[in-house]
A and B are shown apart, each in its own frame.
Chain A
Amino acid sequence: EVQLVQSGAEVKKPGESLKISCQGYGYSFTRYWIGWVRQMPGKGLEWMGIIYPADSATRYSPSFQGQVTISADKSISTAYLQWSSLKASDTAMYYCATQGYCTSTGCPALDSWGQGTLVTVSS
């Protein structure tokens, strides 16, 4: 069974850096893409970006390009989402999820999700 386990909740101050993680269990980590999804308090789901751990190919949503960095270490089956300088508006729940490989006509659904990491940024 595919399982994604995310790192614990974080409380940070504006301007601080942060790296949160998502570790995969129960499958070959290089088989699927890993995506990151943001959910701000009381709001809906937003795609941030996605990474293919086999070769670290990465795609970012335009809203998040340059704001975050997505990376992966396939040797420890872990994907990361990091910020160099947090803002109060980064306060949100962040989810990782697996996605199969896209074809020329479309992509599969996000079929396994981590439990989420709550990031709170406050002075």
Chain B
Amino acid sequence: DIQMTQSPSSLSASVGDRVTITCRASQSISSYLNWYQQKPGKAPKLLIYAASSLQSGVPSRFSGSGSGTDFTLTISSLQPEDFATYYCQQSYTTLGTFGQGTKVEIK
């Protein structure tokens, strides 16, 4: 099984901050890496697919990069509505595993 490890598990940041979340795969997954945002009590929402492609309707302050085993989600200027938990997911294999999540909290 491919293991996905996110870091940090949580972070505190202020509105306007640049935030970076990393995701590491236990083996190469090419660019088959997706990022989701989940707010409390809501379903996950796709933000980034194929490592760096922005899902339609997602603000451009979100960006993704990486390939192989190391990936990054960046929020260029954190907004109040961005406080949420973020998950990476590999889709290199069918039923691709999720990372454990990164909770972004208000400082």
Contact = CB atoms under 8 A, between A and B. Distances in A.
Partners in one complex: yes
A2 B36 CA distance: 17
Contacts of B74: none
A85 interface: no
A44 B30 CA distance: 24
The main secondary structure of chain B at its interface with chain A is loop
Interface in B3-60: 29-30, 32, 34, 36, 38, 43-46, 49-50, 55
Interface of B: 29-30, 32, 34, 36, 38, 43-46, 49-50, 55, 87, 89, 91-101
Contacts of B38: 45
Nearest to A112: B46
Interface residues of A, number: 25
Interface of A: 35, 37, 44-47, 49-50, 59-61, 95, 97, 102, 105-111, 113-116
Nearest to B101: A44
A78 to B, nearest CB: 18
A50 B91 contact: no
A53 to B, nearest CB: 16
Given A44-B100, A47-B95, A47-B98, A113 B43 contact: yes
6 shortest interchain CB distances as A-B pairs: A109-B34, A106-B32, A109-B49, A113-B43, A107-B91, A47-B95
Contacts of A61: 95
A114 B34 CA distance: 18
B49 A95 contact: no
A113 B29 CA distance: 24
A59 B49 contact: no
B29 to A, nearest CB: 8
A111 B87 contact: no
